[in-house]
């Protein structure tokens, strides 16, 4: 049985510092190794027509296989370090008990959301909430005959080429796993140990996740030619990404806290990376004869998401207690 506390073992300021350290470690790991750092030529030509410029031979961009491999190693080490820090905090609280190491390991696994609580159908429901929200985009994909086994779907293109490339491994495997473990598991674990309320954890924790994506602005600025227009594009894209990732973080934090499990948050992350940002305007232009049906699918998806969000996430655990705040187990 995992360890619970009668009082918060760390302060709120300590939780803030740890959250900053987690984010700094994760993003900073991408720039420690020379192989993981990006490189842009000062003599590159300007981009045209609002498109990225051509990559020069001596440059290193974020989608280069060598850069991706180095960064995957870096974030794996950073994620392990963050989990180790949570373990160390819990170990210092446990003290010199005879079963201290075993208790700390069990508590760390539980608080990071790695423990599997059940194997019944209820364990599946949390993984279906995010696809339900995307009912509109899924319907548009169906209209384009791009769902699995439809006419325009191809195993070679839509599975092998997409998921078995280095970009696919980064986008659909390593990034969702490591980001959720660090920015959901580790961040929410320390905020919970500081005595933060559930609402505060949902809306405060994901801010670090959103800010952690701000470093992509430098990449955008260079790929689009280092002009005033490129700077404007980088700022706009970063602000949009900050907003989108923060809102997405609210959702994954809720899933994590309600279920006490990291796996629904990871599956939601994978699914959203596959689907991308919904583009209802483009979908309505592409299928003008199905405008009403597309809009209805979006509405039903949002309504279904709101209706199922609570009943489909009833796992319980340490993070979601019905007792008053001052009687919570930390």
SS3 52: coil
Query: What pLDDT score was predicted for residue 324?
Result: 37
Q: Supply the pLDDT for residue 327.
A: 43
- Contact status, residue 83 vs residue 22, Cβ threshold 8 Å: no
Alpha-carbon distances, residue 85 vs 246, 261, 308 (angstroms): 24, 19, 35
Query: What is the residue extent of each domain of the chain?
Result: 12-48+55-327
Q: What is the pTM of this model?
A: 0.92
**pLDDT for res 42:** 78
Calculate ∠ Cα 127-133-136, nearest 5°.
130
What pLDDT sits at residue 323? 43
- Distance, CA of 184 to CA of 48 (rounded, Å): 40
For 62-111, the DSSP string reads TTSHHHHHHHHHHHHHHHHHHHHHHHHHHHHHH-S-TTHHHHHHHHHHHH
pLDDT confidence of residue 321 = 65
**In this structure, what are the phi and psi dihedrals at residue 78, rounded to the nearest 5 degrees?**
-65, -40
| Cα–Cα distance for residue pair 97/327, rounded to 1 Å | 24
Mean pLDDT, 10 residues at a time, over the chain (330 residues)?
Answer: 80 94 95 91 71 85 94 97 96 84 92 83 92 97 94 92 94 97 96 91 86 86 85 89 90 94 96 94 96 97 96 80 49
């Amino acid at each position: 049985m995992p360890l619970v506390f009668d009082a918060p073992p760390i302060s709120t300021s300590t939780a803030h510092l740890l959250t900053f350290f987690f984010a700094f470690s994760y993003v900073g790991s991408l720039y420690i190794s020379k192989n993981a750092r990006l490189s842009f030529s000062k003599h590159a030509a300007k981009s045209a027509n609002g498109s990225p410029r051509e990559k020069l031979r001596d440059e290193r961009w974020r989608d280069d296989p060598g850069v991706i491999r180095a960064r995957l190693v870096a974030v794996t080490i950073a994620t392990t370090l963050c989990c180790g820090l949570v373990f160390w905090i819990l170990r210092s609280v446990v003290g010199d008990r005879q079963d201290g190491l075993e208790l700390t390991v069990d508590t760390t696994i539980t608080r990071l959301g790695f423990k599997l609580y059940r194997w019944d159908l209820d364990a599946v429901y949390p993984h279906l909430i995010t696809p339900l929200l995307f009912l509109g985009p899924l319907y548009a994909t169906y209209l384009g005959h791009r769902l699995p086994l439809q006419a325009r779907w191809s195993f070679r293109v839509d599975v092998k080429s997409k998921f078995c490339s280095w970009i696919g491994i980064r986008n659909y495997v390593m990034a969702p796993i490591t980001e959720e473990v660090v920015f959901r598991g580790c961040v929410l674990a320390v905020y919970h140990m500081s005595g933060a309320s559930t609402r505060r954890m949902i809306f405060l924790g994901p801010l670090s996740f959103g800010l952690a994506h701000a470093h992509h602005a430098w990449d955008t600025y260079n790929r689009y030619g280092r002009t005033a227009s490129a700077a404007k594009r980088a700022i706009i894209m970063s602000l949009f990404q900050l907003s989108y990732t923060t809102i997405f973080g609210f959702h994954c934090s809720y899933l994590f806290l309600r279920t006490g499990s990291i796996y629904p948050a990871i599956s939601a992350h994978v699914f959203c990376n596959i689907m991308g940002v919904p583009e209802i305007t483009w979908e309505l232009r592409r299928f003008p004869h199905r405008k009403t049906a597309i809009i209805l699918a979006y509405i039903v998806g949002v309504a279904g998401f709101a209706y199922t969000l609570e009943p489909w996430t009833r796992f319980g655990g340490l993070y979601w207690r019905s007792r008053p705040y001052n009687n919570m187990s930390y």
